[in-house]
Structure formats: structure tokens, C-alpha cells
Amino acid sequence: MTMNEAFVALNWQTVPTLPARSPQAHKGSFGHVFAVGGGPGMGGALALACAAAYRVGAGLVTAVGHPSAIPYLAAWLPEATWRDWPARFGDLPEQAVLAVGPGLGQGLAAHDLLLEIGTLSHPQVWDADALNILARFGPELLAADAPRLFTPHPGEAARLLGVTVAAVQSDRAAAICRLQARYGGYWVLKGHHSLLLGGAGRWLCPLGNPGMATGGSGDVLTGILAGLLAQDLAADKALSLGVCLHARAGDLAAARMGEASLLARDILAAVPHALQELAQNHDGN
Ligand SMILES: NC(=O)C1=CN([C@@H]2O[C@H](COP(=O)(O)OP(=O)(O)OC[C@H]3O[C@@H](n4cnc5c(N)ncnc54)[C@H](OP(=O)(O)O)[C@@H]3O)[C@@H](O)[C@H]2O)[C@@H](O)CC1
Ligand SMILES: Nc1ncnc2c1ncn2[C@@H]1O[C@H](COP(=O)(O)OP(=O)(O)O)[C@@H](O)[C@H]1O
């Protein structure tokens, strides 16, 4: 058996879904996502991640961004609260989930933020520049134990392993296993047929399309995963549901607008439809 065969294809009809909401629920029942990123010129990445966390059901979302990102974010997503960099996380609520990296940049301020986040035990999603900084500083940056989901594209995976993108792509299964061995946690190696490595499972996502190869698409996935963790989904479930939901939303959006025209915000807009489809699948099962 090759390593690739050990990764089982996920099935959209049976992927885990969100539990039904209690009639007594309030926003505090659905967790609080703190999305950290939005460095100069990249507020959009942070905004997409925040909106995606809300769209999958997070009760509250706070954007932690560079001051230049905030006016735009406040106008585009008034549902989010926000904090400026430099931020400190001493007062994080117990139920907080962190999503770090979308548009973060790789300067000193970003490094300081990650140094502190690495000491927190709250569940975390690490993406984009958080991964680039992790590649530079190594696993010591992950000082405290915490449930952590890492979401590299092949370029980020190559930096984390110190190899070329071609080496990652030539044996994606070996690459994701090496990533987990080096850094711990739960992983998705993004791209055509994303591979997922959880605590208990090795999966492949057969959904998605090359229309999703567009700026901001991965930022939407980061927000989705954080929003699911915030609702107390176990890391394995959040990983398999989140990656499939994102890819299915991408397929629904591509069916409407075509692959070439797809924008990350179209994937975001299709997330509620994909979630409703999933709920119907489960009702029918
Ligand atoms: N609106 C905003 O604010 C947005 C802000 N953004 C923010 O920008 C920051 C930089 O992030 P980034 O991903 O754009 O740059 P970077 O890490 O250098 O990776 C690019 C290189 O990686 C590789 N590569 C990637 N995918 C691959 C694949 N599937 N298959 C194979 N290779 C692949 C590829 O390498 P190559 O093939 O060229 O060798 C490529 O050149 C980050 O903070 C992010 O959040 C973006 O999210 C966009 C929207
Ligand atoms: N050819 C493809 N087939 C399926 N999914 C793809 C393809 N290309 C990109 N994607 C998906 O789109 C997303 C792109 O993420 P990423 O490269 O981090 O973009 P960004 O940094 O611009 O947000 C990932 O979820 C990836 O799996």
C-alpha cells in the first residue's frame, strides 16, 4: 500500500455536521473567535477570515489587526469587534479560539504576537504568515500545549520543512506526515485534493476546483475552521467538516459563476448554502 492510499476520501453526504441549536441558545453559546492578522495592505485577508467564522456560526468574532486595517474592516463587517496591534491576550475569555496569520505580515510586531500566542492553551488555527514565522523560528514557538490546526499551502509547507515546493508536491502524503511529526497538531495540506491529518484519521478531500486558486480563498478556510472550533467541535471533526464545507462552497460558487471569475467572497457567500445542503443530507440519512 502506498502512503496516498492510507488517506481515505471524505464523503460530502456523511461528513460530520453542526449540532442543532438549542432554542435557549444565546451568542455566548457559540464561542468567540479572535482572528489575528490584517497587517498593512492586507486587511482584506483578516476581514474574509472574520466573516467566514461568523458564517459557520461563531457567536462573536473579534478582529485583531494593524490600525490601518480597522476602518475598512469595521465598514465591511460591522458585526465584528476589533482590537489594534500591538495586542496582548492576557484577558482572553476562556472560550476564545484564535485564528492567526491571514495577512499578518512577517515583521517584528507579527513575531511578538506569535510569541505570546504560542504560550496560550486556547484552540488555535495557524495559517499564512503565522506559518512563515513558524518556519523561521521552529517548533519552539509552540511553547504551550494547545489544540492547533495548521493549514499550509504547498509553498508554506515547503518553508516549514525546508524543502522545495516540487518536493512537497511529489509526495504530499509524506510531506504532511513529516509536518505533523515536526510540529504536532492537526494538519491540512491544501491544493487539489487537500490532504488532512487529524489525531485519529487520514483523509483526502475530493471536493473543490481550480477556481479556488484565487487570493483570499485560504483566508476563508481559516475563518471556517476557527468558527467550528469555537462551537466546541473536536479538532478532527472541525478539520474534516471545515475543509469539505469550504471546498463544497467553492464548487457551488463555481457552478454559478464559472471557475475563472470566482472570488474568495463568492466562496464565503456560498458557505450558508453548503451548510444547508449538509443539514438536509443528515436529515435524510
Ligand atoms: N486580500 C488580502 O489581503 C490577501 C492577503 N494574503 C496574504 O498575503 C500573504 C502572503 O501569502 P501568499 O500565499 O500570497 O504568498 P506566499 O506564502 O509567498 O505563497 C505563494 C507561493 O507559494 C507557492 N504555492 C502556493 N500555493 C500553491 C499550490 N497550491 N501549489 C503549489 N505551490 C503553491 C507558490 O510557489 P511557487 O510555485 O511560485 O514556487 C507561490 O509563489 C499572507 O499573509 C496572506 O494571508 C493572501 O491571502 C491573498 C489575499
Ligand atoms: N486546484 C485546486 N483544486 C482544489 N482546491 C484548490 C485548488 N487550488 C486552490 N485550492 C484551494 O483554495 C485555497 C487556497 O488557499 P491559499 O493558497 O492559502 O490562498 P490565499 O493565501 O490566497 O488565501 C485552499 O483551500 C486550496 O485547497
* Closest by Cα among 202, 207, 242 to 221: 242
- Locate the domains of the chain by residue range: 26-284
Residue range 83-96, pLDDT digits in tens: 998 778 989 999 99
159-206 pLDDT, tens per residue?
999 999 999 999 999 999 999 999 999 999 999 999 999 998 999 999
Q: Report the nearest atom of ligand 1 relative to the CA of 42.
A: 3
Q: Omega into 86 within 30° of 0, i.e. cis?
A: yes
**ipTM of model:** 0.95
pLDDT per position as a tens digit, 93-117: 999 999 999 999 999 999 999 999 9
Report H helices in the chain. 43-55, 70-76, 108-117, 128-137, 154-161, 165-170, 172-183, 217-230, 235-257, 264-284
Within 6 A (CB) of ligand 1 lie 42, 44-45, 102-104, 128-129, 153-156, 165, 191, 215-216, 218-219
Condensed to tens digits (0 to 9), the pLDDT of residues 129-160 reads: 999 999 999 999 999 999 999 999 999 999 99
Ligand 2 centroid from CA 219, angstroms: 9
Superfamily for the 26-284 domain: Ribokinase (3.40.1190.20)
Beta bridge partners of 196: 188, 203
Ligand 1 test: best mutation among 100, 126, 136, 165, most atoms within 8 Å of CB?
165
End-to-end CA distance of the chain: 32
